[in-house]
Amino acid sequence: MRDDLEAICVIENQRFERPWSKEMFLSHLRKRDCGMLAAIQDGITVGYLVFERGEDFVEIKKIAVDYLHSRCNVGRALVKSLTQRMEGTTSKLTLTVQERNLNAQLFFKHLGYQAVAIIRDSSAEVAEDSYIMENEFLSSEPETVELEDIRPFPIKLIVKNAS
């Protein structure tokens, strides 16, 4: 897992203005209800997703894909894999995305997520409003995920908490 975290931190630094440190990842992953998925291609970590289970929902805390592998369905495979793992245990996936992160909004919209609320942030020097986006699915009509969808980017569960 430490090797994966090194690679994950490289992607994290590449993709976020205020990246989590390795210690921040570790402190999240130590929590009982947190887990992480890593997308591995040819032995190389190309993306990851950190999640946390609430009482009746699962929150995507982080998702990022290496620039070189953007728009290659890695992000979609990670979210689908999480959805598949959570089927039957929760009916709602949720996340917070910054208002100015249009790419992520379009990505999640494409996966069926809808903005349901806005969080006004007046505390930061530069206001950073965010949207809460959700995807509700009925356990009686789960999203069908074909394994073929993720075969080009095998998903390895590197922390099994909350699975």
Ligand X SMILES: CC(C)(COP(=O)(O)OP(=O)(O)OC[C@H]1O[C@@H](n2cnc3c(N)ncnc32)[C@H](O)[C@@H]1OP(=O)(O)O)[C@@H](O)C(=O)NCCC(=O)NCCS
> Would you tell me which residues interact with ligand X (CB under 6 A)?
15, 63-65, 70-76, 95, 97, 101, 103-104, 106-107, 110
Cβ count near 1 (within 10 Å): 12
Q: How far is the CB of 140 from ligand X (least distance, A)?
A: 26
How many residues comprise the chain?
163
Between 73 and 84, name the residue whose CB sits nearer to ligand X: 73
Residue 80: CB minimum distance to ligand X, A:
9
Task: Give the C-alpha distances (Å, rounded to integers) separating 80 from 7, 15, 39, 145, 150.
Answer: 22, 21, 12, 7, 8
First to last CA, the chain: 16
Judged by beta carbon, residue 42 or residue 88, the one nearer ligand X is: 42
Residue 65 pairs in a beta bridge with: 47
Give min distance, CB of 67 to ligand X, in A: 8
Question: Which residue is nearest to ligand X, using beta carbons?
Answer: 75
Please report how close the Cβ of residue 127 comes to ligand X at its closest, in angstroms. 18
Residue in this structure with the two tokens 């959570």, named with its chain if needed: 86
Tell me whether residue 1 or residue 106 sits nearer to ligand X (CB atom).
106
